[in-house]
Structure 1
Amino acid sequence: MNKALFQELYAGHSRKVFAYLLGRTTNKDTAADLLQDTFLRVWNRIDTAGHIHEDERLHWIFSIASNLVKDYYRKSATRKKADERIRAERAETAGDLSQWLAGKERFSELEAAINELPEELRCILLMKVIGGMNSFQIGDSLNVPAGTVRYRIAQARRLLADKLHILPAEERVERRKPNG
């Protein structure tokens, strides 16, 4: 039973948890490591999972993942230092653009723009896009109302569109005018 329950939990929730972790860390390798650690803890506490109501299990897994992210940043000097290191790595990678194909270059721009979003917007957007979660699931996992989640997703998309110059100039300017 334990093995079957674990497989069910992993198959049903690993993608959502990975999206959350990627949103919190901006690093695929770190997110993958934290995902592995999360489900290792789930495995070690599989008996506990069996006693948790099925509707509450995702929330339980997210609390484990959230604690691991906090531990990760405590071990790192500071969040700012981690962000600077990531940006420095990206700058080194992007040094010779002649080696990149146009598609990879555009993807890299998008990835960088996503990583520059404020953490709460980045996290929610990645939980939606990569994790395949809806606003109610995200809201439940983060203890935020679903309407707020939808607003933040729209806000993140607008910021990305503006940063990547996807919107026509008139729309960018109009959105920045003060109300009045």
Structure 2
Amino acid sequence: MKNINNMTDQELIRIYENGDEKGLRILIDRHKSKIYTSIYMRVKDEFIAEDIFQETFIKVINTIKSGGYNEEGKFLPWVIRIAYNMVIDYFRKEKRGPTVVNSEGYDIFEVMNFTDDDAERKMVRKQTDVDLKKIIQLLPDDQKEVLIMRHFCDMSFKDIADVTDVSINTALGRMRYALSNLRRLIEEHNLTFQFS
């Protein structure tokens, strides 16, 4: 029999539907950083992001248990779409837009694996990450959203288009504008990025 950790998302959902909680636990562990990141980058608050993350999985659990899950092979985009809708609901309730995050709190760049560098390079990288986060926050929301989904959540443009309810060409265009605006903003702020 196949090792449970090597099973596909769909196989894990079937296991969970048949009463084995491990299936859901592995799915959450497998995708939690991408889902949490997609929420956090929109709400800019660690505690709100954690609440929305939990509410998202309550909805996921209820949908699966009621037999309403039918996104064959598309678990992550389906969950990110639910999280996206939960964020929209949160802002509707709060009747306010997201605020710009400061350099404290959850750091999106901590989920990425970097090679061991000497102390000076680590300091330069940390400052680069802080500067880049600030620049990304200056992008228009639709461009920022596509950039986050593509680069931090590793989503395909088709999945991004599905989640944001736009055409693939629109998603691609937003990404192109986001990258163009990032370059311009980096030049305007006289920033130099050193990536290894």
Match of 1:69 among 62, 84, 87: 87
Corresponding position of 1:144: 166
Corresponding position of 1:161: 183
* TM-score computed with the length of structure 1 as normaliser: 0.67
Instruction: Note the residue ranges of structure 1 that are not aligned, 5 or more in a row.
Output: 92-100, 169-180
Give the whole-Å Cα distance in 2 for the aligned partners of 1:41 and 1:154: 33
Instruction: State whether residues 22 and 28 of structure 1, in contact with CA within 8 Å, keep that contact through their aligned partners in structure 2.
Output: yes
1:36 aligns with 2:54: yes
Residue by residue over 1:122-180, the C-alpha shift from the partner in whole angstroms, topping out at 9 and shown as x without a partner, is 111011111011111111222222222122112111111111118x9xxxxxxxxxxxx
Match of 1:18 among 36, 41, 54: 36
Shift of 1:17: 3.0
Q: SS of the counterpart of 2:174?
A: helix
Alpha carbons of structure 1 residues 110 and 43: separation in structure 2 relative to 1, 3 Å: same
Shift of 1:45: 3.2
Shift of 1:38: 0.7
Q: SS of the counterpart of 2:187?
A: coil
Higher helix share: 1
Give the whole-Å Cα distance in 1 for the aligned partners of 2:78 and 2:171: 20
1:126 aligns with 2:148: yes
Shift of 1:19: 4.1
Between the aligned residues of both structures, percent identity stands at 25
Give the whole-Å Cα distance in 2 for the aligned partners of 1:149 and 1:136: 8
1:45 aligns with 2:63: yes
Alpha carbons of structure 1 residues 61 and 108: separation in structure 2 relative to 1, 3 Å: same
* TM-score computed with the length of structure 2 as normaliser: 0.62
Q: SS of the counterpart of 1:24?
A: helix
- Relative contact order (alpha carbons < 8 A, sep ≥ 6): 1 or 2 greater? 1
Give the whole-Å Cα distance in 1 for the aligned partners of 2:80 and 2:152: 16
RMSD, aligned CA: 3.2
Alpha carbons of structure 1 residues 49 and 30: separation in structure 2 relative to 1, 3 Å: farther
Consecutive aligned runs of 4 or more in structure 1 exceeding 6 Å deviation:
none
Alpha carbons of structure 1 residues 4 and 72: separation in structure 2 relative to 1, 3 Å: same
Instruction: State whether residues 52 and 86 of structure 2, in contact with CA within 8 Å, keep that contact through their aligned partners in structure 1.
Output: yes
